[in-house]
Copies of this chain bind each other. A is one copy, B any other.
Amino acid sequence: MAEESKNNATMVVFDGDLDKAIASFIIATGAAAMGKNVTMFFTFWGLNVLRKEENIEVKDKNFLEGMFAKLMPRGPGKLKLSKMNYGGVGSHLMKKMMKEHNVSTLPELMELAQDLDVKLVACTMTMDVMGLRKEELIDGLEYAGVASYLSEAEDANVNLFI
């Protein structure tokens, strides 16, 4: 029984690059399809994966928070490749080549993950630090801190930092 419970998977999604986000959701949906409980914990730049694409006006941001929010990419459509991005040309080409080979897009993978009950958790501490508010992030998320991640990780044997 204790044995059984060690079969889950957790991922810390830290980087928030397009290619790493795609890799993390491919692993997450694959693991969920195999019947694992999967938790993805989004922190630091990884939070940008969860941002809504539209500009959400938030009144109570201070100057720094507003600036960070402006400079960071809003959602999957704006993410950059970790390599060979070439000002967005690389990420555009990568999406084109994925389409040609019928690989799901990042928004499709994210929807699939939610359909498969992959738990998407936004790290509240880094949300605070970066000045991101819940209304700027997509629906269906949970909000928690590192202790919650660690207690999930305890029951997992696959724990990745991406």
Which residues of chain A have a CB within 8 Å of any CB of chain B? 2-3, 6-7, 9, 12, 14-16, 19-20, 23, 26-27, 30-31, 34, 43-45, 64-65, 67-68, 71-72, 82-84, 93-94, 96-98, 101, 103, 125, 128-131, 146-147, 149-151, 153-154, 156-162
Q: Kindly list chain B residues whose C-beta atoms are within 8 Å of the C-beta of A26.
A: 125, 146
Partner of A147 from the list B34, B64, B93, B146 (CB cut-off 8 Å) is B34
Q: Which residues of chain B have C-beta atoms less than 8 A from A93's C-beta?
A: 64, 67-68
Copies of this chain: 3
Interface of A: prevailing SS: helix
A-B pairs with beta carbons under 8 Å apart, 28 shown: A2-B3, A6-B6, A7-B154, A9-B153, A12-B160, A14-B162, A16-B83, A23-B44, A26-B146, A27-B146, A27-B150, A30-B150, A31-B150, A34-B151, A45-B82, A45-B83, A64-B97, A67-B93, A97-B129, A97-B130, A103-B125, A150-B158, A153-B157, A157-B157, A157-B159, A158-B159, A159-B160, A160-B160
